[in-house]
Every structure is written in C-alpha cells, then in structure tokens.
Structure 1
Amino acid sequence: MVFDILLFVLGLVFILISAEIFTNGVEALGHRLNLSTNFTGSVLAAVGTALPETILPIIAIFFFAEGKGHEIGVGAILGAPFMLATLAFPLIGLTVLMGHFLLKKRELALNIETVGFRRDIVFFLFAYSVALFIVPFENEILRIFTAIFLILLYFMYVTLTLKGESNEMEAVEKLYFSPKNPHPNILIIILQVVVALIVMISGAHMFVSGIEKISLHFGFPALLFSLIVAPIATELPEKVNSVFWIFRGKDSLAVGNVSGAMVFQSTIPVGFGIVFTEWDITGLALISGIFAIIAAFLALTLSYVEKKLIPFGLTIGGVFYIIYLYLAVKEFV
C-alpha cells in the first residue's frame, strides 16, 4: 500500500514537470512553424496531452478483453470528455475567478478567440451527440460507417482550425532544452516536446497504476474506476497545462487545450470504441455523456453573452461533476 501511494505521488510529479516542459515546447513549436494560437492550443497541445487517456482504453480493450477490459475501455472513452467538460473547464474558470477576486492579478474577462472556442464546442456537441444517441449499435456495418464519419469529422475540424483566423503565436522567452539560444533549431524543439510527452505518459501510467491498486484495495468497481478515477489522472496534463497558461495570461491556449481535446476525444477514441466494443451506452455511462453535453452547451451559450461571463460558464460544469460523483457513489456503495 505504501509503494502504491509513492507510485501515485511520483506519477503526479512527473506529470507536473512534463506539463511545464511540454507547454514551453508547444509554444515554441507553434511560433517556429508560424501556426496560429488556436491551432497550437486546440490541435497540437490538445492531441499531445490527450495521448494518455487515448492509450488507456486501447490497452484495456485489446489486452484485457477477457475480463473487464471492454467495460474499462468504454468507461475511459466516455470519461475523458466528461472530465474535460465538468472538471477541466471548471478548473480554468475557478483559476480565472481566483486570479481576479483573490489574487487581484488578472481581469475577470477570459480573453479567448471566441470564434475558435465556439467552433470547438459545436464540433464536440455534434460529434458526441451522434456517438451517444444516433449510433445503431446493433448494426455492425452502420457502426463502422459512423466511426469513419467521426474520424473524417475530426480531420475536417483540423482543416478549419488551420485555415481559421487567429492571432499568431508569441515568441517563447526561452526553450528549456536550449535556454541560451533565442532561435533554437526545430529538431531541438521537437525533441523537447517528444521527451515531455514520453515523461507525461509514463507519469500518467504510474499515476493510474497507483490509483488503480489503491482503489481496488478499497473495493472500487471497475466501471467506477474507469469513469471517475482513471480520467482524473489521465486528464491531468490538460488541467495543469491550462492552469499554467491562465496564470501567464495566455487564455486562448488554456481554453483551446481543453476544448480541442474535447473534439479529439469525441471523435477518434469514440470511433475506436464504436468499432471494437458493443457500444451499448446506458446507465451511468450515458448520464456522464449527457452531463458533458449540457456543461459544454452552457459554456457555449454564455460565450455569446459577454466575455466576463465565460469563466462562470466554464465553472458551472463542476456542478454536474459533483452530482455525477454522488450518483456513482450512491449506486456502487
């Protein structure tokens, strides 16, 4: 038990350190490639930090199919968008509110590029609604076509994000792997990003392993672990990256990191789950999806009202996480 706790803590430390190195590298890469802020945050950073929670269900479904693998895999696939909408978004909102009201270090308005943010949320709402409510899970051929449609939808989103209007990336003060060079070689930048991702995934694996053994020690069911515990661990990179960016005043990167990950998680991993599992979404799994959609829709709605209300719109999603946690514990305990 002591070793599992140490593994848990060490994994968390690895995630925190690698997240700082990763955000630094992604900013430098976006600037070096002359990419927009939206594309850097919503695609580069989002896909990179989404790797841990994407790998988890694939491993569970393919290598633990004889046991609870499919159950854990589907739970992890659905748990990722749920955690992003009801935990990562609220964390951004609370960070802004704390920075404004308590620390007095920033304004209340969340200075994001609303066009990109709304595009992310609309794609997420559409893709995830298709996955939850329209997929004909009893017809294998139609399921395959649905999965292909969702994957193509993501590439359409990437294309629109790349072509969309957005501010250019600002130059990074220094690259950690080349601090004395104001114009580091792109290979050094890529190396830093890759190394950070490897450490991040390793840390997430250690973190999940520690939580899994601790949760099993206390008798947590597989579905409860896959829907609540594992996604909290694997979503840490997005949460930590976004908090770092919020405190540095890079709001578009912070929000895009999460909203872009939501689009990715509602298309690529979901398409994988539709094809390789039964994808019969009911009970708590369905509720998690509905809560994620409602939370995202509320954030989208308030973005049309005023920028000062966006932090509150993001924070509201936390209510659904608390309600869901209560329902889950009530059912399993």
Structure 2
Amino acid sequence: MITALLFAASAVILIVAAELFTNAVEWAGYRLRLGSGATGSLLAAIGTSLPETIVPVVALATRSPSADSVATGAVLGAPFLLLTLGAAFTGVAVLLRRGRRELVLDRRQPRRDLGVFLAGFSLALLCILLPFPLRVTAGTLLLMGYIAYVVRTLRSSVPDEEMPEPLHIVRWIVREEPHGVLIALQLVIAVGLLVLGSQLFVGALDSVAAALSISPLVLALIVAPMATELPESLNGVLWVRSGDDGLAFGNIAGSSAFQATVLASIGLVFTSWHPGVDGLIGALLALLSATFLLAVLWRGRARGFVLALAGIPWLGYVVAQLVTGGHLAR
C-alpha cells in the first residue's frame, strides 16, 4: 500500500514539475535568444541532468560499501536508459499526437549531440583499461569537450521569434514578457520538484528491487536511472505534444552528451571505474542505441514507430536481469 502511494505521489509531482520546467525553459531560451535546438540541448539538458548527477555524488559522499558500484552504475546507466526508453517514449508521443507522425529536426542537431555522446562515452569506456593518472587526463579532456560542444551549439543557434505560453506561476497576473527573476524562480521550483518526485519514485522502486534481491550495481543500472531519467522523458512527451520537436529531442540527446562528458568525468576521477560485465553490457547497449538513433535521424527526421524501437535493448536487458535474478554476468 505504501509503495503504491509513493508511486502515485511521485507521478503527480513529476508531471507537475515537468510542465513547470518545460514552460520555464522555453521562456529562458526566448529571453536568451536561443533556438529550440540549443534550448533543449543545453538549458533543458543541464537542468534535467541534475538528478543523475546527484546520485553518484551522494553515493560517493556516503562512503558506504556499495558506493563505488552505485556511482559507477549511475554514470553508465543514465545514458543507457535515456537513449533507449527515453527515445522510445518520444517515439510513442509522436505516434499519438495529431497530424505529423514523424519527428522533424534540424539535421545538424542529432549529428552534433549524438556525435558528442558517442565520442565521449567511447573514451570513458576505453578508460576501464587505463591507470588512474590517465583516467584523470581523460576526464579533463571530456570536460573540455563539453565546453567546446556548448560553444558550437550556441554559435549555430537561430533565435525563435514566437513567444511561449504565459509563465505558469504568474500566468493570471503577468501577460507580457516575464522578468528573468520569475523565470529563474519557476525553474528552481521545477527542478526541486523533479528531484523530489524522482527520489520518491526511486524509493518505491528500491522496495521492489530489495524484494527481488537485485545486486547494487544492477540496481544502479536499472532502478536509479528510471527515476533520474523520468524528467527528460516526461519533458520530451510534453514538447512533442506541443510540436516542439527540437526541444524534445534536444532534451534527450543533449542530456546524453552531458552524461558522456561531465558525468563520466566524475566516474573516471572519483570511482575505481571497474563496472564489471553487467555494467559493460549496459554501456555497450547505450552505444548501440546512440548509433541506431544517429542512423535513423541522420537526415533530421524519423517516424515515431522507428524511434519507439529504441526501447527494445533496455527492455531486453531488464528482462534478462529479472530472469537471472540480477546475475546476468554469471
């Protein structure tokens, strides 16, 4: 009963938070004169990446016996779920919306965002074989790579001229362009609710995982990312519904670029970076999924049904873990 209530409460909080967040991000992008692609790939991506960044940091700060496994699993599991289930949710949303049943983007956006992910994540995986000093160097290179990605994204951005819907927290008071402080306030509220909703959700999933005796690494690869990646998935669905395809995809692909560089650098420097076979399988599937998405979106458009297929690797991995009792590698 308690678990069911946690699931229900987290769902309500996450839906409200996602609506507040998408609305505030649209206004932030409008005020900063950014295009939808840059707004999704940078502003939305960084904001919604906060939960998955918190997971490894908190795990390492606790110094518990499973901290290293949880942190490593969170770093590897976040892009795995995002590029599979997150992309699949976007595909289903495209299928269900009225009118156009395909995702249409500036073709430079998937090439840029997914290209950064593939390069950064591949380097991070290669570091499994390297000693600590070289991992620190690689982590620095990843951070520099993300800075270069931000600069490139901003330079290629074309401002949107259409004003977003009224800012939700003052929509009945202020009808014209809201002050930047109000936009920032709604963003802070939204991110706080996203973190709260994610924590409630992962608490409920923890109970289920404990009952199934799932190992800490597998828990971090599957359960924690399910909570931390919910914001990106929900935001993507809302933006697809409103026809903002660049924002929807940018939130997912931009978050994956952040995770493959900034988040991966945390793993390289502050963990032993030995994910084991389970973690390696999840990471390789993430690379496979990113390659699939890059191929189908190479020309900047893809049907919703094709995007929905991206969820198959994650579902297969989860089923395999459940069938083997969380010991797929054995």
Structure 1 equivalent of residue 99 of structure 2:
106
CA distances 1:78-118 after superposition (whole Å, capped 9, x unpaired): 1100001110011111221233xxxxx12123121221221
Q: CA deviation at 1:282?
A: 3.0
Q: CA deviation at 1:165?
A: 3.9
- How well do the aligned residues superpose, as a CA RMSD in angstroms? 1.7
2:102 is paired with a residue whose SS is: coil
8 Å CA contact 2:74–2:221 kept in 1: the answer is yes
Structure 1 equivalent of residue 317 of structure 2:
324
d(CA) in 2 for partners of 1:198, 1:146? 32
Answering whether residue 174 of structure 2 is matched by residue 176 of structure 1, we say: no
| Bigger Cα displacement from structure 2, 79-88 vs 165-174 | 165-174
**CA shift in 2, pair 1:85/1:169, >3 Å:** farther
**CA shift in 2, pair 1:169/1:327, >3 Å:** farther
**CA shift in 2, pair 1:221/1:50, >3 Å:** same
Match of 1:227 among 221, 234, 237: 221
Give the number of equivalent residue pairs: 324
CA distances 1:248-291 after superposition (whole Å, capped 9, x unpaired): 11111000000000000111111101111111233121111111
Answering whether residue 70 of structure 2 is matched by residue 72 of structure 1, we say: yes
8 Å CA contact 1:35–1:169 kept in 2: the answer is no
For 1:46-61, list aligned pairs within 5 A: 46-61=45-60
Q: Given the two structures, how large is their TM-score scaled by the length of structure 2?
A: 0.93
Q: CA deviation at 1:330?
A: 3.2
**CA shift in 2, pair 1:152/1:193, >3 Å:** same
Identity of aligned residues (%): 34
Unaligned runs of 5+ in 2: none
d(CA) in 2 for partners of 1:106, 1:83? 28
d(CA) in 1 for partners of 2:161, 2:290? 26
8 Å CA contact 2:34–2:158 kept in 1: the answer is no
Structure 2 equivalent of residue 27 of structure 1:
26
Question: 1:325 is aligned with what amino acid?
Answer: V
1:110 is paired with a residue whose SS is: strand
CA distances 1:157-177 after superposition (whole Å, capped 9, x unpaired): 111101114352631121112
Structure 1 equivalent of residue 199 of structure 2:
205
Q: CA deviation at 1:178?
A: 1.6
d(CA) in 2 for partners of 1:165, 1:44? 13
d(CA) in 1 for partners of 2:138, 2:188? 32
Q: Given the two structures, how large is their TM-score scaled by the length of structure 1?
A: 0.92
Answering whether residue 256 of structure 2 is matched by residue 262 of structure 1, we say: yes
Answering whether residue 187 of structure 2 is matched by residue 187 of structure 1, we say: no
d(CA) in 2 for partners of 1:310, 1:120? 19
Structure 2 equivalent of residue 145 of structure 1:
137
**CA shift in 2, pair 1:19/1:173, >3 Å:** same
Structure 1 equivalent of residue 150 of structure 2:
158
d(CA) in 2 for partners of 1:221, 1:13? 29
